[in-house]
Structure 1
């Protein structure tokens, strides 16, 4: 179960309680779950009972008890506890199964992993000045909210700069339309599109404009072109390219991230390959990486849909950029600690397939995030 799945599960429990007249309160549009802080109980926590206590005219602890019995019966939820004044704490059942579900979702959805329909009822009008950073930011925000199901129109105060097209920017209209507007007003770049394209090219210019929060100045110096660790854009793109190289290397060795189909159980590769499922029958489940270095990367990939939705809601493409940087760093840490390809005469094992699946998922998340920012993700650097 992913964090997004858990959020929907809790929301479904609230709706059931209201439908059954156990709770008389408006059903919220969404329920937020967060990872439990150090020292806390369970894997995730939620404050929805405190949120509903007032409208329901019940103590938060009573609301929490009503919801606990409905959430605890759901598949994938191992234990639900009530802590403090009415927080719900969740311990998920079979974490490895949840990890497999995340990797399967990335594989099935590809670059659209993390897209959704949470904003499907919203019709938005973004409006910005005739300035390159505002134009690029509005374009990226459009991509983010459309990926969450919204319908969007973007207008500019004046006729758009023709050079914006080379940055991938399109504008639907100019002038101030007579409809409710959402202004996109980041700190101006201090340069024109033509100047940025000449110095940096489209990809580096877009990253430099979008990576800082809108209220911060954009650093648009030559460091954006450095092919080294000091350049976050390079690290993100290199992590993606390295993940794709691992897939090519595995194909050259005759294996993929998918376990090979066979009518007979595959030879048991040992506890190292199956992690928590060492006691299961051979071939009964697809293994997931159990290595300690895999955990941060798995968590970041699982959190990716929530980051995209938050970035769309807050009109903040910088959140996506920071998420991609974190994924890239976790990928390198994982890759250094846990080789995805066998060395020497070593035969590909279930552990290699599991690690390759995680590396490929990381590459997909990086490519999808860059695409939402309007930046290419080359397979070779």
Structure 2
């Protein structure tokens, strides 16, 4: 019995008491769901709920009296083995072994879909989690967002949301000319220009540009710059896309900032803001009156020299997302963008939206990578930055992704290469992956003995009555709730921590409960039932790792 199923059972009991007149609650006071949680202390049942404390006053009684009525009704349910009233009115519920054991069958029946729900069904969410210039390789600063944004997209989709993952290409501005000039200088053997880009990767790009379009560097200066800019942009963007694909991070949309201006979206946005009365002119510039909606100062849209600001592009981009039908726009921004939260929310309000309903902004903190006690700062190819590819090659995609995903976005993070690549139980990613490999090994050994997990009528869920079996079953039953909460709060680290706890619970089960027959022992129903529990554990571990974009190895 999962927490969701038990919640329904408790709610049914409450509604039955109201229908019988035993409890005086108006329909408006009846909850739509009841929270049940695993108790913190052993011996307090399988699950606990404080629903009696929450509703007693509305029902005109005291919590223990209401708890007593609920207890009597719940004990009539065949899936409930017993109910204890604790303290001022808590209900500690023990689930019947057969009902608890059915969780293993539910997991195996659902397979890869176990853990998914419709919690966020009907919500169309855009997740923008990397915004980068196409002027060089992706670096350490992008790596954390590549992991967290992708994992957030995965848990949102698992909770039923319609998710689009979006990369915002900063391909407008003077940096693109600096980029082209740097490639040209590298091709002609000249020094890197002021404000240009250095590093061996620029030399590589110069050779690639020359190979893709022979004679490009002999063109007249203005024509050459435009041609090299376009060719270098295409090659560098393709490299970023390859970097992210190899890192198990995939985008549905690669959105060009330049396209906003070429399509006329920015002038249309400015006209809309004027119609809404939220812009004004001062000192030769055009401003948006964001202070009307809580911003600390008004924001410039067009400078006095006629140049559009990034904020004008940001506003047009937000409206473009909304025009594409997104109910919520989720932004993942770096620590240096903390001041953007207020202005983005004010911007959404200026265009007529309620930012509490349409906008989410997550601010992430910096990450440091340490090697031999020193921070890794330099790149062999890029010169001044640590690239995503170099990190993935040295650390490994799985170890790097998991290590970045297991912490909240707003936590400053320092990772030691030696620690996160160590093959030991104190390395969380190894610990979880090893648990999956271990259950896979048991299932292979069972197959070699001709034993399969029990299914259908052959599966006697009531046999899974050992305390350690119960702990593992309750852990598996909690997975859908963990995923739903991770999606609702945009916190995929909850999945990682759940996996570590569940791996530990599995190891305790495996130490206490022998799964395979020994010697001349004939396999029986208990072996089949325990194999079903082992197979269900493997499925949940694999499903959880997939939500983090991490592989589930069958051998280690």
Q: TM-score range by the shorter chain?
A: 0.7 to 0.9
SS at match of 2:463: coil
- What does 1:1-381 align with in structure 2 at a 5 Å threshold? 1-13=1-13, 22-24=24-26, 25-28=28-31, 30-38=33-41, 42-52=45-55, 56=58, 58-59=60-61, 61=63, 71=74, 73-80=76-83, 83-92=86-95, 94=96, 96-130=97-131, 131-156=142-167, 158-159=169-170, 161-162=240-241, 163-171=243-251, 172=253, 174=255, 176-178=317-319, 179=322, 180-190=358-368, 191-216=386-411, 217-219=413-415, 221-258=417-454, 285-286=460-461, 288-381=463-556
CA shift digits 1:22-63 (9 cap, x unpaired): 422355454211123438754322223444467x47456376
> CA 1:193–1:16 in structure 2 vs 1: closer, same or farther (change >3 Å)?
farther
Q: Return 169-178 or 304-313, whichever deviates more.
A: 169-178
Q: Which residue of 2 aligns with 1:275?
A: none
SS at match of 2:318: coil
CA distance in 1, matches of 2:390, 2:101: 46
SS at match of 2:34: coil
CA distance in 1, matches of 2:62, 2:120: 29
Q: Give how far 1:221 is off.
A: 1.5
Contact kept? 2:71, 2:83, Cα under 8 Å: yes
> CA 1:369–1:177 in structure 2 vs 1: closer, same or farther (change >3 Å)?
same
SS at match of 1:177: helix
> CA 1:158–1:294 in structure 2 vs 1: closer, same or farther (change >3 Å)?
same
CA distance in 1, matches of 2:541, 2:419: 21
SS at match of 2:540: helix
TM-score scaled by length of structure 1? 0.80
Q: Give how far 1:367 is off.
A: 0.7
Flag structure 1 segments of 5+ consecutive residues without an equivalent.
Answer: 262-282
Contact kept? 1:81, 1:90, Cα under 8 Å: yes
CA shift digits 1:189-235 (9 cap, x unpaired): 35542232222232222112101222321525133222232322122
CA distance in 1, matches of 2:509, 2:59: 49
Q: Return 220-229 or 198-207, whichever deviates more.
A: 220-229
Q: Give how far 1:353 is off.
A: 2.1
CA shift digits 1:211-264 (9 cap, x unpaired): 122232152513322223232212211211221121121111111121798xxx
Contact kept? 2:101, 2:473, Cα under 8 Å: no
SS at match of 2:37: strand
Q: How many residues align?
A: 357
Aligned-residue RMSD, C-alpha = 3.2
Q: Give how far 1:371 is off.
A: 0.9
Q: Return 239-248 or 304-313, whichever deviates more.
A: 304-313
Q: Give how far 1:66 is off.
A: 7.1
Greater helix percent: which structure? 2
Flag structure 2 segments of 5+ consecutive residues without an equivalent.
Answer: 132-141, 171-236, 256-313, 323-357, 369-385
Q: Give how far 1:68 is off.
A: 5.6
